[in-house]
Amino acid sequence: MIKKSIQVGGRELSIETGRIAKQAAGAVLVQYGETVVLVTAQADTKEDVTKDFLPLTVEYREKFYAAGKIPGGFF
């Protein structure tokens, strides 16, 4: 595990790798104050020379309970 921290704007910025998401080719856990972001990257090991671009996909999941918004009325 590698972890580096610095002070930015009066808060601690921490970047950590090697502890979680070990199935991904690369994973970084970034924490700034109370905000935490997990960034992962995965690539195919086979090289495709016919493509002249790199297809990129971004998946974003916002959990409502993280903001204290828990939907009700399910019962």
Domain extent listing, the chain: 2-42+51-67
Residue 7: predicted pLDDT: 97
- pTM of structure: 0.64
- Read off the pLDDT of each residue in 46-58 and give the average, rounded to a whole number: 79
Q: For residue 51, count CB atoms less than 10 angstroms from its CB and return exposed for 0-12, middle for 13-18, buried for 19 or more.
A: exposed
Provide the pairing of β-strand 11-17 with 35-41: unpaired
- pLDDT digits over 20-34, tens only? 999 999 999 999 998
